[in-house]
Amino acid sequence: MRVAFFSTKSYDKEYFKKHSRRYKHDIIFYETSLSEKTVNLAEGCEAVCVFVNDHIDENTITALSKIGIKGILLRCAGYNNVNLEAAKKQGIKVLRVPAYSPESVAEHSLALIMTLNRKTHKAFNRVRENNFSIEHLVGFNLFEKTVGVVGTGLIGQAFAKIMLGFGSKVIAFDVYENEELKKKGVRYVSLDELFQQSDIISLHCPLTPETKYVINKDNLQKMKDGVMIINTSRGALINTKDVIGGLKSQKVGYLGLDVYEQEQDIFFRDLSESVLKDETISRLMSFPNVLITSHQGFFTREALDQIATVTLNNLTALQKKEELVNEVI
């Protein structure tokens, strides 16, 4: 099957070329993102493959249908950037990679926590300048701290197990409670209770109308003073304006982000020679207790291998009209 890959980087090409030897698909790589304006690049293809910041709205899907696209393959788990109703209307299948090394994102969440807490990024810069002072680098023990996990899907489960290993008290909120986690000592509570009790809150839920801006001004007021908030899921789970207010009032003591609501024009790009026009993220980066990484939580060799193989299997199933086990319904 001939497929157009959008928003590709060197690592996409490396891992898909590595695994595509076992398949007979014709892959065309494009660095540009998919939108209504770039649909024409997929002419002659039967499917497109996209990533988290491609904008697949109704107009884009209609244009894809007109050139004969039969499938939209997401090389990620989230699908909030796709208009599913429009895809269904046009008869275009939408497939995703529902689970790729959940430990990769969970471990990155821990990396954000540890860096913010023990200030290793600041210590590194000091020592590089021959400054061996440890003034103002004090942290806190994770042992016996209360860690709140919002969303206990595969990534949330992996993260909860990691924090249990530190001796933290882990509480969780999810519509569906995980019995295995409960047996390991995770206690499920209401969302309000989680906000009230947690020293650290880590977000691992999908972006839905119900979860959008789950971190907002009202919910921030329920939290402990100096709370640490970590988001490695989707940017719009946090109302950025409200969390900036929380940082200024010191209600939020630490903020670790691997995602950002307006990341599509910033993340995965080298803007080091440009003026950053997004004043909101510039304001966030001005706080000494904020750490931002550019959506690299998934970025491990194991995860890239799984993304490539599952996506290629999805494409093969679409081509052969087999059961689409990873179809987004």
Task: Just list the catalytic residues.
Answer: 234, 263, 295
Q: How far apart are CA 272 and CA 282, in angstroms?
A: 13
Token pair listed for 112: 């954000």
Q: Which residues contact 220 (CB under 8 A, 6 or more apart)?
A: 242, 243, 245, 246, 251, 252
Token pair listed for 225: 């003073």
* Residue 165: Cβ-neighbour burial (10 angstroms; 0-12, 13-18, 19+): exposed
Q: How far apart are CA 174 and CA 265, in angstroms?
A: 31
- Cβ density class 243-269: b for 16+ within 10 Å, e for less: bbebbeeebbbbbbbbbbbebbebbbe
Between the alpha carbon of residue 8 and those of residues 31, 34, 271, the distances in Å are 5, 11, 17
Provide the residue type at 207 as one letter. Answer: L
By the 8 A CB rule, do 48 and 26 touch?
Answer: no
By the 8 A CB rule, do 102 and 154 touch?
Answer: yes
Q: Which among 111, 206, 74 has a CA at the least distance from the CA of 153?
A: 206
Q: How far apart are CA 56 and CA 205, in angstroms?
A: 21
Give the torsion through C-alpha atoms of 166, 168, 173, 179, to 10 deg.
70
